[in-house]
A and B are shown apart, each in its own frame.
Chain A
Amino acid sequence: MEPVLVAQALNAVFGIASLAIVALGLAVVLGLLGVLNLAHGELVMIGAYCAYVAQVNGWPYLSAVPLAIAVCGTLGYAVERWLVRPLYQRPFDTLVVTWGLSLLLRKCAEAMFGLGYKNLREPIAGTVEVLGATYPRFRLVLIAVSVVVLGALFLWYGQSRTGRRIRATVSNPDLARALGVPVTRYASATFVVGTCLAGLGGVLIAPLVPVQPFMGFDHILMSFFVLVVGGLGSVGGLVTGSAVIGGANSVVSALSDSTGGYFFVLALAILFLWLRPRGIHGRG
């Protein structure tokens, strides 16, 4: 195969993987709890700042992973406990409250790190030869991690007893509670998993994007569009959505400019809202 084609293919896979890993946390929380967490983008930002803190202090890059999980997990627990839990009966207000939270986190990041862009070094430098094409090693690692995380979640959710109980909780919380499923604890755990995944996504993409307090917007919007197109509730939908959104964005951006790509993705999302409101892979 032509090296150019291999590089293009790898780029496409990388685009899908990075979108999917960032959207995953949002998908978990929206799909399982029905909460659209508008602070998701800011949790990705926090993950990225964790990577920045690790790098500035000279810690190994991998140390950013437990750091991000600790920070985002704690934050996720507190947010679920005190902000989201009182509002499960008022889904619209969870949207408003998490929107306020996104504002708060952004302002906090601004106060701690300033408005400026931070650029991180890639922790795994250099390139590898793949089928004749040279490709950055870090990007391959990102693809691999995304595949592993998505696959693990897919298997665990489909096979395990806990996965089955969460599915029961989702389809009928009252009945699940009556059968002794600790619904409240599962909801809390699910939210925390979602925020930790957002943090992990932030750590992974930090070296590839400018890290700054406003970076969350792009990620929440793109993640949301991925879910609109792909539909909730399946890993297949997440990957398809990432492929459609990522592909459309890069093709139209290359043909016109980034504004054109953004506009096209937005139009695509509205179109899906009319024609397939549950997305390509949506159930029912």
Chain B
Amino acid sequence: MGAADPPAMEVTARRARGVPTAARAGIGVAALLLLPFAVGDFWAYQLGLLYLYAIAALGIGLCWGRAGFLPLGQGLFFGLAAYLSGSALIAFDQSWWLLVLIPLAACASGLLAFVIGILVFRRRGESGPYFSMITLALSLLAFQVANNWESVTGGFNGLKGIPGLPGLDSYTAAYYVAAVALIGATLGTGWLYRAPLGVLWAALAHNERRAAMFGFDTNRLKAVAFGASGLLAGLGGALYAPQQGLVTPQLCGFGLSADLVIWAAVGGRGRLLGPVLGAILIGALTSGLRDRFQFWEIGIAILFIVVVLLVPEGLVGVFVPLERWWGRRAHRAPALPAPERLTATRAARLEIADVVVQLGEVRILDRLSLAFEQPGVYCVIGPNGAGKTSTFNMLTGELPAQAGRVAFDGHAIERLQTHRIMRLGIGRKFQIPSVFAQLAIADNIAIALWSGRARRAELLRPRLRRWSSVALDELQARHPFLADVERTAAQLSHGERQTLELAMALLGEPRLLLLDEPCAGLSPLETAAAIELIGWASRRPGATIIVIEHDMSLVRKLADHVFVLHNGALVAEGSVAAIQANAAVQAIYVGAEK
């Protein structure tokens, strides 16, 4: 694959490097603080500005490199905070109020970004390009507003004569304010990357459907990512006003938005420090060389295209081999017991009544009624096109039902969104194994453990990545590769991936588990192991498991009760023996006329 591989992600918390992270961070911080003495006033001033841009570029890295969507109008949030903070500085010159108002200006940008994220990410699926276009349009709109609304923004010439921060008015002080803000923003973003939230962002970037199936509200998570990026841009903008003393509409518009994306890409969007490096390096080169080379900006645009096509990991990719040489050893932090599921643990009751699903001319489910009252293993069989997988898709909220009811524990769920349905205590395994290929095995497992267990605020605590459970110990004893800390899920074989997904579905300890041909594509040996695993899971008290299966020999081993579907409706149900004796079922499978 080579160049086509997506950028690698730093999402392995269970690793520590040879030189302690704190020491390396210390070296970086010391370098930033001593730099002005080395480069002189002019460059200290330039760098101070670039640090603010670097803070905003961090946000691009967060959205694009981590959560997988690209904002093209980040200048909007930078500019908004700059105007707010500039107005506050003019109105309350030297007052202590500013200590509250300037952070509030940054927060206003973050809040706006979050709200926009909520609005745009409301629908699942095609939000990638749409989102980018809408952010682009919003930033151009912001430029127009800033340009035309003269009484508030000062129009084309902008807000002029903005005083500096109280007591920090010298060039050197401005540099240190920017440097401290950059350090804080980088540490904060790094924290988010290590926390479950950051792992979930990386997870949904590549497999949003799977993340939703674990009960995570992916649209909300993306909106939070966008809100965080808006807050970072806002922090840069709020400090820009006192540093530069001038805020013009250009900040909101296309130019800065585009530069931020270029810097993040060239520096390396997939890693924390990539966008920072890109902003400082490319920014400094541009301000030094733009006037000397006529075609500098054309060159930068070409560089950007080359990076996207051929070097998605960017400049920081160069440091990866260096990092290995520097020393990296895997070690294991002590595991923490995961808490019980947040929802009830009693046996599930599921009732599907008269459900109709129609797509165009085709009636996929035709007044289907199924009832699951007792714990146990239910098998759903039927010829291809009978509506088995569609029943699962309808249950998990992906196929809307035109008519009929679906009740889980007596509550109607047919109108709920996927993540809400799954959160009630439902787990699902797909027919084609669906795992988070870019993430380490440990992170795949951690996400499954958080499902239904982690409270919202806990997603900010990195220690959740050390969660373990009795079931996990048991699974790792049966399948030692699940304890592998080095490999990512992409490096697993097909059979291992099937096992990993099955293990992940089991680890959430759902009350109702939906398995879609769990043995598809497995060798006889792997099939026996999977059957054994499903049997083990079914012995947990109160567990209800519904299995779609073609292979009658497996059905005979697994099923307590069998449903036979044909043309979207129930044809027969009963024990395996009763089904095999049923004339209608034989007619369907053999094709005999009645």
Contacts and interface: CB of A to CB of B under 8 A. Distances in A.
A binds B: yes
Interface of A: 36, 83, 86-87, 89-93, 95-97, 99-101, 103-104, 107-108, 111, 214, 217, 221, 224, 228, 257-259, 262-263, 266, 269-270, 273-274, 277, 284
A280 B262 CA distance: 36
Contacts of A217: 136, 140, 254
A107 B309 contact: no
Contacts of B133: 36, 221, 224
B70 A277 contact: no
Shortest 7 CB-CB contacts between residues of A and residues of B: A104-B301, A100-B305, A103-B301, A100-B304, A36-B129, A259-B144, A107-B298
B305 A101 contact: yes
A83 B137 contact: no
Interface string B377-396: 00000000000000000000
A126 B294 CA distance: 43
Nearest to B306: A100
A259 B145 contact: yes
Given A86-B4, A269-B134, A274-B123, 12 more contacts: A93-B308, A95-B70, A96-B265, A97-B305, A99-B261, A103-B258, A108-B298, A111-B295, A266-B137, A266-B141, A273-B123, A284-B360
A27 to B, nearest CB: 14
B121 to A, nearest CB: 10
13 contacts: A36-B129, A86-B309, A95-B129, A97-B305, A99-B261, A104-B298, A111-B294, A217-B136, A259-B141, A269-B134, A273-B120, A273-B123, A274-B123
Contacts of A107: 297-298, 301
By secondary structure, the B interface counts as helix
Interface in B405-428: none
B298 A96 contact: no
B126 A277 contact: yes
Contacts of B309: 83, 86-87, 93, 97
Interface residues of B, number: 41
B119 interface: yes
A103 B298 CA distance: 8
B119 A270 contact: yes
B304 A103 contact: yes
B123 A104 contact: no
Contacts of B295: 111
Interface in B133-186: 133-134, 136-138, 140-141, 144-145, 148
Contact of A104 (B4, B72, B144, B305): B305
Interface string B117-134: 001101101101110111
B318 interface: no
Given A221-B136, A266-B141, A273 B130 contact: yes
B344 interface: no
Nearest to A221: B137
Contact of B122 (A90, A111, A214, A274): A274
Contacts of B294: 111
Nearest to A95: B129
Given A83-B305, A93-B308, A284-B360, A228 B70 contact: no
- Residue with the highest number of chain A CB atoms closer than 10 Å, among B132, B138, B360: B132
Nearest to B296: A107
A263 B141 contact: yes
Given A100-B304, A259-B144, A274-B123, A92 B137 contact: no
Contacts of B72: 99
Given A221-B140, A259-B144, A266-B141, A95 B128 contact: yes
Nearest to B132: A95
A108 B294 CA distance: 11
B2 to A, nearest CB: 11
B302 interface: yes
B301 A100 contact: yes
Contacts of B302: 104
A125 to B, nearest CB: 32
A88 to B, nearest CB: 11
A90 B132 contact: no
- Residue with the highest number of chain B CB atoms closer than 10 Å, among A90, A96, A224, A263: A96
Contacts of A224: 133
Contacts of A214: 254
Nearest to B254: A217
A215 B466 CA distance: 53
A92 B148 contact: no
Given A92-B128, A259-B145, A277-B123, A266 B138 contact: yes
A233 B309 CA distance: 29
B80 to A, nearest CB: 15
Nearest to A267: B119
Contacts of B126: 277
Nearest to B138: A266
A91 B132 CA distance: 13
A270 B360 contact: no
Contacts of A100: 301, 304-305, 308
Contacts of A92: 68, 70, 128-129
A232 to B, nearest CB: 11
A87 B134 CA distance: 23
A83 to B, nearest CB: 7
Nearest to B359: A284
Contacts of A36: 129, 133
A273 B359 CA distance: 20
Contacts of B148: 257, 259
